[in-house]
Structure 1
Amino acid sequence: MEIEELVSHCIDKGYRLHRDLGPGLLESVYEALLFEGLRRDGLIVHRQGAVAVEHDGIVIENGFRFDLLVEDKLLIEIKSTERHAAVHAKQVLTYLRLMDLRIGLLMNFGRGTFKDGLQRLVNNYRRTAGSQS
């Protein structure tokens, strides 16, 4: 599945989840249901994967955990908050950069409509030959 088709599929799945259940559940509930739904659709999905973070020769093996990674190319971060916080988008962009991925979705199921809680984020950072993360 091409990345744009994958993004559309995941957005549709998230929309239906929000439509059917509404806002107000814990983040972990939306995450588990989206994970199982995408797997049921035949996609390869990893949940709560640990990612190492390296800086200045120091490696933290479990630097952070992502919510969902679909087909090893689309990161989905799940939130369930009433308000939008700019830090959530920054978090996704940092995860994308550290995982060397191009596209991520921030799905906030706590908003009144799915559209209000959805953000598509694109990592424009490209490592150069001499750079280190």
Structure 2
Amino acid sequence: MGRHWGEDWGDNYPHRDITEAIILAAIRVQIVLGPGLLENAYKACLAHELRLAGHEALREVHLDITYKELCVANAYIMDIVVDHKVVVEAKAIAKFSDADFAQLNSCLHFANFEVGLLINFHNWPLKDGGIKRLVNTKP
């Protein structure tokens, strides 16, 4: 099971530099765009902001999973993958649900990533509960 941002990690968590750059980029995007847009607008602008900052930001990365020698193509689509190390799931919803955390946790597991971010652009300001970090404790 993944751990939430700050839980038992203090300042020592994987890819801290990248996650902090993503958070700063997300804050910039939210300040300019404000709340109320659809998720796709935020995702496009966040990926663009990350690229402007020198990061590789791939959008809609398809993830295949394997189940007992069966390959399930496109079992999940990751919103943004940053520098081939961090998965970002961007939302524009009233609040995060358990399903949001479960999906990101499964994605981290099957893609073998160490850390992922859930970002909710509907939450104003982002720093007040709109950003959650999950760390894959079962690589």
TM-score normalised by structure 2 residue count: 0.85
Per-residue Cα deviation, 1:24-64 (whole angstroms, up to 9, x for no partner): 10000000000111112221111101111110111112111
Q: Given residue 122 of structure 2, which amino acid in structure 1 is its aligned partner?
A: G
**Using CA pairs below 8 Å that are at least 6 residues apart, which structure has the higher relative contact order?**
2
CA distance in 1 between counterparts of 2:98 and 2:34 reads: 23
Q: Where do 4+ consecutive residues of structure 1 move more than 2 Å?
A: none
Secondary structure at 2:58 match in 1: strand
Cα displacement string for residues 79-130 of structure 1 (whole angstroms, at most 9, x for unaligned residues): 000122111111111100110011100001111320221101100003xxxx
Residue 76 of structure 2 aligns to which amino acid in structure 1?
Answer: F
The amino acid of 2:137's aligned partner reads N
Matched ranges for 1:94-133 at <5 A: 94-115=106-127, 116-126=129-139
Q: CA RMSD in A?
A: 1.3
Does structure 1 retain, via aligned residues, the 8 Å contact 2:95–2:120?
no
> Unaligned 5+ residue runs, structure 2?
1-13
Partner of 1:131: none
Query: TM-score scaled to structure 1, two decimals?
Result: 0.89
Question: More helix per residue: 1 or 2?
Answer: 1
Unmatched 5+ stretches in structure 1: 127-133
